[in-house]
Amino acid sequence: MVLGKVVGTVWATRKDEELVGMKLLIVRHLDLQYRFREAFVVAVDTVQAGVGDVVLVCSGSSARQTAQTKNKPVDAVIMAVVDKLDVSD
């Protein structure tokens, strides 16, 4: 999974009907010191994440293994809100 921070929301009226009602959040990648990296991804929220939350994003077919995203055209999902990182390197 990728570590990231929610920085915003995508508004899209015209979309695949399977996506109606889903919250599409913008997640910028973070490094282990919580600094923003260049990359970002648009992910479906399944854990009530909000702007400012540090989260984990799961990608690919694994992004469809939640109750909300099953069988939908979704390739990235927020599946955890991070409380804390314990890093010793």
Q: Hey, is 64 helix, strand or coil? A: helix
For the CB of residue 70, give the shortest distance to its own copies in the complex, in Å.
9
Asked if 40 and 9 count as a contact pair (C-beta separation under 8 A), the reply is no
For the CB of residue 30, give the shortest distance to its own copies in the complex, in Å.
10
Q: Determine the Cα–Cα distance for residues 24 and 47; give it in Å rounded to an integer.
A: 12
For the CB of residue 40, give the shortest distance to its own copies in the complex, in Å.
7
DSSP code string of 16-43: -GGGTT--EEEEEEE-TTS-EEEEEEEE
* Site for its own copies contains 74 (CB under 8 A): yes
* Site for its own copies contains 50 (CB under 8 A): no
**Interface with its own copies (CB under 8 A):** 1-3, 7-16, 18-19, 24, 26, 28, 31-32, 36, 40-43, 46-48, 51, 56, 58-66, 71-77, 79-89
